[in-house]
Structure 1
């Protein structure tokens, strides 16, 4: 292999431990108790909301589920509502027809195999229709307080841009967070990173001038 190409493809190292501590300490100070911006009332409604949020905004999902979750908070209630009823509620969300089918199918499985309860293992969650690793990790973290890292486009970008958790794909970034972020920040790390990526470290024009960790970030194309 050409050594120049090999060097170019090599990932940069993650930020040193002391820098990671400083980075997340500032995020924690600015937002001590970060939570998902999706609206939910229990494990089932969170599972549904996260499943619906794929390729959709949290704001859009919250608008679509407001009336739905006033009527439906359990798998059997979703089955009673029926596919057409669910579709009518979520028709403003992208890919709503397939998502509606998935929600109905996972509701049926929860009723028949789990007594209407949401399972607490990643493997069991990922067997549900429309539930991938990211969705499972959000549920595990937000509901069951397991320090699972749900890597979306914001965290993937931020992990590489700041070198908090470099990786060529979402799985590598997830492992890099687990390997490099100090244990005291693991529970809330993905919430802080999602919010920071959504509102500050944005894709096209990061807001470096108001970023509280800008001096710790090695990103060369700062917009100050």
Structure 2
């Protein structure tokens, strides 16, 4: 009796969206998922900052204490983490690895320093930089949120200048001038990435290998 070759699940694709604080990453991510038609898993980040109005623990972020977060860093349980204005932000490691291994795509919405850590550990991901039309537009968005003092906002603008210079380390840059347009651009990037030869060829290589095995077995039977 001939044996059958069991195929492994196709590895998922890691999509990383990041950019300066206040650029609208969360708004764009939410719009993408609200529109539907997505088949990737959103990875919820962990943070020590206080929830903003309307944010839900376990849905928008995992809100934890500083002591808990630092314990996770020490035990190597974070894929990435960064500290902004005395608060930590990061992504749990095992969740992302398990989801990709199961064949599902993972969508990360994280800060710039965290994205660079992910790039070192998972360089085959798709890294997208969301940028404001200009710094004045970014400042207006931060002021409009009404959640921070002008001192903190000015600190974020100063940090944004440094972060925008890091755009060169990404695969793509998307301007968030209008949310719907930014979503369309990101969807186009993801569609194109799914067609890249390094992502498609492993399936064909497996198919060709199976065909060669079948031909060899048929030849032996003859």
TM > 0.5 fold call: no
Higher helix share: 1
TM-score, normalised to structure 2, is: 0.27
Larger RCO, structure (CA 8 Å, separation 6 or more): 2
TM-score, normalised to structure 1, is: 0.27
